[in-house]
Structure 1
Amino acid sequence: MSFGARPPTVLATLGTLGLALAAVASPASAAGGTPTTPTQLFNGYRHCSTDVDRPSYLRTSEGLVVEGIPGITDTTGNSQADMRYQVWPITDPTQVTTVNRSRVSPGFEAPATLPATAFEDGQTYVWRAQTVAGSAASDWSALCYVTADSTRPAKAPTITSANYPPDVWNKGGEPVEFTLSTGGVDDVEGFEFSWQQDLPVIGTNIGDYGVPQPVDPYSTTKYFKRADTLGGSVTLSLVPPTGSGPMTLWVRSLDRAYNGSAISSYSFLVSSAAPTVTPAVPKPEFGDPTVFTLRPDPGLQAKSPVVSYSVRTLGGRNDRTFQVAPEADGTATVEITLDGVSGENLEVTSESANGWVSDATWWGIGYDTTPTVVSDTYPENGSGGGADVPGTFTFTPKVKDVVSYTYTFNNGDPEVTVPADDQHNASIDWTPATDGWYDLTVYGTTRSGIELAPYDYYFTVN
């Protein structure tokens, strides 16, 4: 699972590339143009902060990727330029580290990596960029302020829940209320959480011209929540991913540089609150429209009214999933024609007004839609008749509304279809050319065009 399209490994690769290019810098050709001040400044694929009182907190243990778009005035459109980056501690402007990125195209981001040796954890720094073309240089860009932070939170967060105690069976039906605390770590900005142990990766998409597109991870409320204050706690109201069974929430805290703490987990159990499914008759017949009544779990209905049922059919001719709206008391009715030739199943869940989705109820029925086959001359699983001795085979249905039968001998012969009579039966006369073992395969077809399950009738010709 990832948040954004650029994982940290790709970011590191780009940073290394920028540093390598800086090491082989060579003068660029101005081609008659004048360098202009860089724009679109980013650090660590996050926006540059020009406010000294609100620096960006960034990891610098492997260096810091900085970038901007160089500018140059050129009528030919073929110019290249160099980018010069400088960084120094805000407390000592004399300790300047300079990195060059050579031969870059104006209009595109020109990333370079400021070395890790230029930073000390916990200190604040300022950096700037300049376009260079030959002996000419632009004005310096705006100043960007960064605080180096490569230290993860020292403790894993603590997790508690007031309404779903751990390691015991709880009645479901209402969101789980969690409280996440920092464990005493005072630089935690927020928390990342998921019902899966693999937590999302915070990354950044790269847009046209190489411009990063930073997104505040805390805007994705499915996985992130910012603390009200630095080092503070948060409360979550979450609906579990399934309606019952063992549940585990995985959580880590994040500092301002998105360094993640060790992961904590909270496990609890939720008992079943599935709806009930009742057909109008105990054993619905194949092909008959049948009304089913859906009723919510009483405890679940009391906590939050059911607003919808999701019904999925399995094993029928045209399986589908559809929604059914309930009455005020939570009950609903739905008419379904059961046409699965071997049987059919219904899977039903309920959704409450508060977003709770119950576990599923399964209802199912099996059908034998194969025809009955009888022959006096050639009994099933026996022997009789002989070569050139005719025999009659009679087909009778186990379900109603059969209008024809299709059969073949020994599976390799062409299929033959014969109509059924008014009683939905059919008879055929057949004469074997040779003795030996035979397999008669036959299936019926209903008036609505359903091909029923085939039956294999085995016998031996004397």
Structure 2
Amino acid sequence: MRTSPRAHARVALAAGAGLTLALLVPGAAGAATGTPNVPTDLYNAYQPCATDPNAPLVVAGRGSGVTVEGIPRHTSPSAYYLTEQFRYWPVADPTQIATVERTWSTPGYEATADLPGLVDGSTYAWQARTVDPSNGAASDWTASCYVLADDTFPSQPPTVVSPNYPEDRSSQGGAPIHLELGSNGVSDIVGFQYSWNGVFSVSGADIGEHGIPHYNDPFDGPRSAVRADTLGGTASVDLMPPSPSWIQDLYVRSVDRAMNPSPTYHYRFRINVDAPKITKLSNAPYGKPATFKFTPDAGVQAASPVVSYTITRFGSDDPVVLPAEPSGVATTTLSLAPGETMTVSSLSANGWTSQRNWWRDETDTTTTVTSAQFPANTSSPAAPGSFHFAPKTETSQIASYTYAFGWSDAPTTVPAGKKGELDVTWTPPYSGWYYLVVHATTKDGVQLADTYYWFGVN
């Protein structure tokens, strides 16, 4: 069992709260007057006690046993510490009574103890009473609560079937995965838990005022479990994959009345490529806004209309959400630098998120370098020479070139000619191998890709 991080801290069970057959424990300062009252707010395993012997609360009794609790009470406001005793016995043999107690209990607040030694498959009754350790006075015992110890785990994993996303097959995406879950012959299954990462939620409680637990039923709240239609029965559920991956892994296990889990069933299926189509409608110059059209996958659109697209640009942590038209199509104007990448996914009205499509401006923005005196990858005689720089495309947009001969040479920037080209004269200072690195810059200040030109001088 767990308690919520929001829960008030519960005082740890004292070392003296172990198993004992003593009914009275003197010694703690208590009330000089007044009488102890019968405990109230009885809980076991953080759930309200069951008072019907024919319908006991089914709990796991292994380990330290079942946690029981109740609020000790006293008629005197000067009673600072009380002892709460718990006695329990197997219903099949009421003579086998054992008693545990919690000393130094605070009046008006839940006091806890553990009932150890419960036998798997046996039903037990338990009661509580308040004892005043200052004078040995004791209240009446409460009415009995009943628990059935169940330490046997389900022997079989559940059966898992999906008609629209069959196991180990590829299917069209766009609709929730419909799952049919079965108990696989295990008679005491109450429900099923599922997870996309193999980590399952566990039952527990939030602790409220006066230490009263508020049990968190795993079948209530956020969907991570579904109750079976009958004990040992079946259930169905519709789920959305949490991520738009091609391969989807779902983990399912069944649980019995004591929340003992079965072996886990690993259900794997695949989703066909369902990313939207990206079309560039305008051939804008370098760095200028261009119009893009996003078209939904036909199968996704048929399952549920696409309502928006999420656009993520490489290096940006702020995706842009673009509403779609009723047809599922959307258009937008974007300014992407040469070589910049963006991804686009669609969101449908039913919550389905498609896989991502990638788009990259593959325009070659390197510079064409030619030299009659110093051909590329060739060693030539030492003499003055020239290099001609020209862009691959969009010559009218080139404003300048920046170049350097080798890593130790300071970069030089020279304006481009009217046609976006440039001739550079150069005299080699020594013989050896050189590399020329050059890039163009557009009139809008966009730096284009570097070009490396290797050559040798005799």
Counterpart in the other structure of 1:10: none
Change (3 A) 1:30 1:377: farther
Within 5 A, what are the aligned runs for 1:1-400?
A: 18=13, 21-23=16-18, 29-30=28-29, 42-44=43-45, 46-49=46-49, 51-52=51-52, 55-62=56-63, 63-67=65-69, 83-90=84-91, 94-102=95-103, 111-115=112-116, 117-128=117-128, 130=130, 133-136=133-136, 139=139, 144-166=145-167, 169-196=170-197, 198-204=198-204, 214-241=215-242, 245=246, 247=248, 249-280=250-281, 286-314=286-314, 318=316, 321-340=319-338, 343-384=339-380, 386=382, 392-398=386-392, 400=394
CA drift of 1:202 comes to 0.6
CA drift of 1:84 comes to 3.7
Change (3 A) 1:203 1:399: farther
TM-score by length of 1: 0.76
Whether contact under 8 Å (1:307, 1:326) holds in the other structure is: yes
SS at match of 2:216: coil
CA drift of 1:309 comes to 2.6
Query: 2: CA distance between counterparts of 1:47 and 1:106?
Result: 21
The Cα offsets for residues 420-440 of structure 1, whole Å up to 9 and x where unpaired, read as: 454444555555544333333
CA drift of 1:56 comes to 3.0
Query: 2: CA distance between counterparts of 1:405 and 1:80?
Result: 87
Query: 2: CA distance between counterparts of 1:302 and 1:254?
Result: 37
Change (3 A) 1:121 1:50: closer
The Cα offsets for residues 273-327 of structure 1, whole Å up to 9 and x where unpaired, read as: 443222225x77642433222223334333332222333334xx75753333222
Whether contact under 8 Å (2:310, 2:345) holds in the other structure is: yes
Whether contact under 8 Å (1:31, 1:74) holds in the other structure is: no
SS at match of 2:219: helix
Whether contact under 8 Å (2:31, 2:132) holds in the other structure is: no
SS at match of 2:392: coil
SS at match of 2:17: helix
Letter in structure 2 aligned against 1:150: D
Query: 1: CA distance between counterparts of 2:185 and 2:273?
Result: 37
Change (3 A) 1:272 1:435: closer
SS at match of 2:376: coil
Query: 2: CA distance between counterparts of 1:318 and 1:132?
Result: 68
Whether contact under 8 Å (1:37, 1:131) holds in the other structure is: no
Query: 2: CA distance between counterparts of 1:40 and 1:414?
Result: 83
Change (3 A) 1:135 1:306: same
CA drift of 1:101 comes to 4.2
SS at match of 2:114: strand
Query: 2: CA distance between counterparts of 1:30 and 1:304?
Result: 70
Query: 1: CA distance between counterparts of 2:427 and 2:104?
Result: 90
Which is further off, 301-310 or 56-65? 301-310
CA drift of 1:234 comes to 1.7
SS at match of 1:309: strand
Query: 2: CA distance between counterparts of 1:391 and 1:107?
Result: 98
Letter in structure 1 aligned against 2:225: F
Whether contact under 8 Å (1:394, 1:428) holds in the other structure is: yes
SS at match of 1:372: strand
Q: 1 or 2, which has the higher helix percentage?
A: 1
Letter in structure 2 aligned against 1:300: V
The Cα offsets for residues 381-431 of structure 1, whole Å up to 9 and x where unpaired, read as: 334464xx6655454333543434433443244444444454444555555
Change (3 A) 1:393 1:164: closer
Query: 2: CA distance between counterparts of 1:59 and 1:49?
Result: 15
CA drift of 1:375 comes to 4.5
CA drift of 1:223 comes to 1.7
Counterpart in the other structure of 1:438: 434
Query: 2: CA distance between counterparts of 1:428 and 1:131?
Result: 102
Query: 1: CA distance between counterparts of 2:378 and 2:32?
Result: 100
Query: 2: CA distance between counterparts of 1:371 and 1:205?
Result: 68
SS at match of 1:262: coil
Query: 1: CA distance between counterparts of 2:316 and 2:421?
Result: 27
Query: 1: CA distance between counterparts of 2:39 and 2:416?
Result: 86
Unaligned runs of 5+ residues in structure 1 are 7-13
Query: How many residue pairs are counted as aligned between the two chains?
Result: 441
Query: 1: CA distance between counterparts of 2:369 and 2:388?
Result: 6
Query: 2: CA distance between counterparts of 1:293 and 1:406?
Result: 35
Whether contact under 8 Å (1:410, 1:440) holds in the other structure is: yes
Unaligned runs of 5+ residues in structure 2 are none
Q: Name the Cα RMSD after superposition.
A: 4.3
Which is further off, 46-55 or 202-211? 202-211
CA drift of 1:19 comes to 8.0
Change (3 A) 1:187 1:203: closer
Letter in structure 1 aligned against 2:378: G
SS at match of 2:251: strand
